[in-house]
A and B are shown apart, each in its own frame.
Chain A
Amino acid sequence: MTQTCLTFRDLTLGYNSHPAIHHLDGTIRRGSLTAVVGANGSGKSTLMKGIVGVLKPMAGTVVRAPGVRAAYLPQQSELDRSFPARVVDLVSLGLWPRRGLLGRHTREDRAAVSQALMAVGLGGFETRPIDTLSGGQLQRTLFARVLLQDADLILLDEPFNAVDTKTVGDLIALIKRWHGEERTIMVVVHDLELVRQNFPETLLLARQPIAWGETKETLRPENLLRARHFHEAWEENAPWCEPDSHEHGDHAHDHGHDHHHGSGPRAA
């Protein structure tokens, strides 16, 4: 069995020929829990979209290890809250990987839906219409759906936005449970304190990886300072990126070094 879950090869993702992720190389180890941090516009959400496949790469590839199923909780959901659905209908969408288009939802499936809701502290919310949920409750409902998807790779994009402290605690506990089950998890987070306390590994992004590896190393002041100097705006007339002109070899090397160092002891 391979130890890699995701491999980025010279990955460039972006919009209108402007890169948001520029020549990313590296790997995500199976069973790792990685925080993705960086300023606004540093490419965090874009990377998530690239991994899940809703955004096609402009260059390079993301390779998923064979058989790896991904669950994705986007930052900006396209969820239509006025749609006449109950909490249980929304969470049941998470059965899709197991039951697909036509598979019958069994009694066990319904029990699993209820259990997932219990796990996020929403037991008894099954028949509530989704337009009566608060923001935090909705977020927990979506977590329940991710739970139900039973995926090997879980991508959460700013899952703690507009969520109260207690709920953040609950959700972190859930993430740690997934981590204990050897699932691979990547979470976009803004709260660095939260990252330091709960995430063993961190990827610090500023269109390119500034640092990537053990959280304590990655979030050192000099790295954060470098990330802060990142220039967010696109330059309309930026020169075209030629195959040899970018520094990607440099970065790949850097990162490979850091990463193996950082993850070596933990893998045991």
Chain B
Amino acid sequence: MNTDTQYLHDVADSDYEHGWVTEIEADTIPKGLNEGIIRLISSKKDEPEWLLAWRLRAFRHWQSLAAETDKYPRWAHLDYPDIDYQDISYYSAPSSKPKYESLDEVDPELLRTFERLGIPLEEQKRLTGVAVDAVIDSVSVGTTFKEELARQGIIFCSFSEAVEHHPELVKKYMGSVVPYTDNFYAALNSAVFSDGSFCYIPKGVRCPMELSTYFRINEAGTGQFERTLIVADEGSYVSYLEGCTAPQRDENQLHAAVVEIIAHKDAEVKYSTIQNWYPGNAEGKGGVFNFVTKRGICDGDRSKISWTQLETGSSITWKYPSVILKGNDSIGEFYSVAFTKGRQQADTGTKMIHIGNNTSSTIISKGISAGRSNNSYRGLVKVNKGAKNARNFSQCDSMLLGDRCGAHTFPYLEINNPTAQVEHEATTSKVGEDQIFYCNQRGISEQDAIKLIVSGFCQEILAMLPMEFAVEARKLLAIELEGSVG
């Protein structure tokens, strides 16, 4: 085996950094899914009747979908066993206390968990300029900088707290972008979701810091089903970050989240994700099944929603952060780097639905496949009949590291208005021999050359991430590429 393939081999097999488990006592409900379980989840969370009723409607809808196997989403370029939805526990929370008044009440083991992940929650160690909501298994364990934000009228709290303190906002917006009828996993999430983050930026306010939610699955045999709801009122701005990890386990764990974003007139929401759920081992054993519905609506004129994602984790990724461009002159953006290795499979992309006039969208997707992984871009650009002067530019580049992996591009362009200008470009390449030779000739080793070239390939996307995140993203990508080579 020459150094090149040896190195790629190592890349493909490199270890997962966040595979440890925290020993904390958890309150985990029995496995299974039925109306009783939904009621149990709702009662554990002291929820109002209207929310329970909504969950039950969602559950019945999900049941009707689950009853007909052809309603399972099977169009994705993914191969995985059927999931036994009765063999999952739908609620797990650290048991010391269901809710925390302050961080002092939080189990120190838990705080250490987040610190180990590089997310300190304690007052003196807080990340400057970033407010964090930390969610472990199903429950939010702490939100930092709450008071500072509240002074400007910004609401940033766990979803449960929002239900309790801001029911009018939750009622108004929950399910308005992703109704529970949207798809199989959205229905499931709507029925069993446990917690998540809620964020409201009032009119004209520019959120002074990055808002961030950090998700971690800890318990075995559980699924994580969180909902995030972000509402940016007229003329406001917020940048929101999301990170996630999970312990290394031999079984597959299910993560089915819903994220909804509403951007009113002149508002701008920037949503960044670093997805690093446990991807399974090199043979494809274990790992998180990541089925996520993320969608934003540019409801008002001149509003803007931008999704940026770095996807390195999960054994299966099924995820299409989308933007509905309803307001005139609204803007949707999707920037993505998806790196797969081992036996990972990713089917990810976006949907840009142009409805208003003079709307524009940009899609830049970079897929890197190594090992025996499969990496697909799937994206829809749809221009409705009445949407005048819609503009879209899409660019999907794939890079293959090794000859046992796959890179695929499935764009859908649906144009129903003559004034639309839609452009899609895609390329597939490998790291060029001549590029490596050039780097070698300047004294850079083969491995460093590959890292350099791959980082260069992703550069324009990573540059879109907020600074703190960009550093983390670069590190993560370097670790992913480094493999076990010293």
Q: Is the A/B pair a real complex? A: no
Contacts from B to A (Cβ < 8 Å): none
